[in-house]
Structure formats: structure tokens, C-alpha cells
Amino acid sequence: MTSSDPFAPVLDIQDLHVDFPTGEGAVHAVRGVDLQVAPGEVVGIVGESGSGKSVTALSAMGLLPRQARTRGGVRVKGQEVLGVGERALMGVRGRTISMIFQDPMTSLNPVYSVGWQIAEALRAHQKLTKAEAFERAVQLLTLVGIPRPRERAADYPHAFSGGMRQRVVIAIAMANDPEIILADEPTTALDVTVQAQILEALKKALEETRAALLLITHDLGVVAGLADRVVVMYAGRAVETGSVDDIFYRPGMPYTVGLIGSLPRLDSDGTERLRPIPGSPPSLVGDLQGCPFAPRCPMRVPEICDLEEPALRPVASQEAGPHLAACHFADKVASGAAGPIFAATSADLSEPALAEGAP
């Protein structure tokens, strides 16, 4: 609406910092994230719980909790959303940018029919009569694959399964043809059998609206199937970004290597063990020194890694588009010269195999 350049990013996050004050000091949930999503692009954000990926998405919607302290800039189609009042966000939310949340069981208001809830989203941004909005809601329900949509539109959320509710949430997200949809772990709370169907519905929504998608997940499989580009987050920062191919086949950051290593693969001969990452992410209270992944990293060189936090830098071996990684030894990791980084552990070993790596 405001931007005339058709190639300008629909979502532009510049050096975003988000802190949550707590009794024990501020939690630095996001520590300087830069992220651009081009029109129609599908970007995946992967990372563990607490890596700051959900907080990043909520910032883009202006939905952070009131006590959050933010710094940096988040622009949606050229309009700043950080630190802007609820009223000013009305025109952006739902129309330019919309969001699908993690838990479909609690995302819908239990006291209104699903048709009502979709119609509410439509009427917030389009001049429609109630009857027209209802008709459009039925169409949307059809699109996301709800059987007998006309009858089901009058039903209340409790009469729907988790998967069906998530379809309704997708219908709400696509109601006003947004430029970008944020999906925060849209399949995590669902049965494995339903996950694929929801991803299908999501793809359908993208085809229909030609919106860009920011897909947040800890499931690398989902990202591999859907995303054009991947951002790996760790301890509140992006630690690696690149094309799906670069990330999966030429990762430049040991953490990414670890994430991929802890995935079962169909293309191996089946005798390989999974390679888990030992330890857990650092506390984000107070200041971090050095590379936040260093305590868990098998490649740690204390004189370097413990002193300086590596910046996101281009990796030498990039093939498809820009490939950046935040590791002092990114080139070595990406070229494969480092050999297997994580030790395969047997399933019954609960403690990390790397004694010196543990904090």
C-alpha cells in the first residue's frame, strides 16, 4: 500500500532486540536479528525453544507482551510496527500481515461460531454485509479443506478437532489476502498424521493469496519441503542464513550441523546413529560473552570462541544465493574439512559425551 517498489521486502526487520524484564534481570530474548522477506518468498526460521523465533514473529505483528522492551526496526510493507499503538496497527494486522499460532485448541474464541470468527476478520478490513461475509467465510472454509463448510460454519470451535481448528485459523489468516503470513509452529501441537494435511492447506492458502510466508518451526523436514530460504536461530540471534540447499548440504555453523545430525535421514543406509547436540542453550539473562554456542560446541577453541561473539559473515562455499554463518570457523565447517563434528551417542546415554563441552 505504502511502498511502490514491487520488489521491496514485505517484512523488513532491522537489528531487532527484545528484552523481558524479570526479577532476576532482563531476559534478552532477541539480540539483534536482521531479516527481510521478499514478496511471495517462503522463509523458514528454525531453532530450539527459547531461541527467540516466536518473539521475532510476535514483534512483526506488534503482539509482544506489554512488558517487552524493544529496540531496532520492524517494517511491514514500509510501515513501522514497533512501538506503535494498537489502533495504528489495525490497518496492518490481518490485512497486510497475518499470523497462524501454535496451538489451535486455544486459538479460537470458544463462544463464537467459526463462521462468525472468520466473518469478523473479513469485516474488519472489507466493506461487506454480514451475509456477504458469511458467504466468503464458507468459501474460505472450502478452500482450507473443511468438509460440509456451509453447515460447519455455524459450529463452535469445540465441535472441531485440532487439525480442523488449525484450518479455520488458516482461513482467518488468508481472509484479507495478506502480503505475508507468519506461521508459528503451525503443526507442532497436532498429530503427525494431521501435520501433512495442515501443510497442504497452508500451501493452498499461499497459492490463493500469493502471500509470502515466514514459517517458524523446529522441524527441519517441514522447512526442507516448503521454504526457499532458511534462517537458523540460536540464543536470540540468527546464526546462519542461506538457501535450503546451502543450509542442508553445506552448513557453516556447528549448531546447524548438529540440528541436521539429530534428524533421522531417509537417504542414509540406516546404520548411522542419530547425533544429538549435548547440553542446553545458555541462559539469556544478563550479558553473554563469546559465542553462545561455544559451551556445547565440539569445535570450540577457547582463546577465540570464549572471547568474541562471531558476526554473521558470508561463507566461502555458497552456491545458491547469499549464505551467511556466525562461526569463527564457518568456512572450515562448510567445506566439510572438519569431519564429523558431533559424536554419535547410544540411545541410553543420557549425559553428553563431551565432558569438556558441558558448562
- Roughly how many angstroms between the first and final C-alpha of the chain, as a whole number? 50
Report in angstroms how near the CB of residue 316 gets to other proteins at its nearest. 33
* 86 near other proteins (CB under 8 A): yes
C-alpha cell of residue 5: 517498489
Enumerate the β-bridge partners of residue 248. none
Interface with other proteins: number of residues (CB under 8 A) = 58
Report in angstroms how near the CB of residue 80 gets to other proteins at its nearest. 16
- The letter for the amino acid at 258 is G
Q: Which stretch binds other proteins (CB under 8 A): 97-105, 266-274, 335-343, 346-354?
A: 97-105
- For the beta sheet containing 313-314, the strands, ordered from the edge strand earlier in sequence to the opposite edge, are 97-100, 180-184, 212-217, 42-46, 229-234, 237-243, 324-325, 313-314
x-or-dash pattern for other proteins, window 243-282, by CB under 8 A?
Answer: --------------------------------------x-
Report in angstroms how near the CB of residue 1 gets to other proteins at its nearest. 13
Report in angstroms how near the CB of residue 15 gets to other proteins at its nearest. 20
**How is 249-310 classified by DSSP, letter by letter?**
HS--SHHHHHHHHTS--SSS-S-PPP-PPPS-PPP-BS---S-TTGGG-TT--HHHHTT-PP
Q: At 113, which helix (H) or strand (E)?
A: none
Instruction: State how beta strands 229-234 and 237-243 pair.
Output: antiparallel
* 287 near other proteins (CB under 8 A): no
* 214 near other proteins (CB under 8 A): no
In the region spanning residues 46 to 85, those forming contacts with other proteins, defined by CB under 8 A, are 49-55, 58, 61, 63-65, 67-68
How far is 263 from 345, CA to CA, in rounded Å?
A: 13
In the region spanning residues 137 to 176, those forming contacts with other proteins, defined by CB under 8 A, are 156, 158-159, 169, 172, 176
Closer to other proteins by CB, 124 or 341: give it. 124
Closer to other proteins by CB, 39 or 52: give it. 52
x-or-dash pattern for other proteins, window 117-136, by CB under 8 A?
Answer: ---xx--xx-----------
How wide is the angle at C-alpha 20 spanned by C-alphas 223 and 282, nearest 5°? 60
Q: Which residue is it, cell 545458491? A: 320
- The letter for the amino acid at 141 is L
* 177 near other proteins (CB under 8 A): no
Binding residues (CB under 8 A) for other proteins: these are: 20, 22-24, 27, 29, 49-55, 58, 61, 63-65, 67-68, 86-87, 89-95, 98-99, 101-103, 106-111, 113, 120-121, 124-125, 156, 158-159, 169, 172, 176, 184-185, 189, 281, 283-285
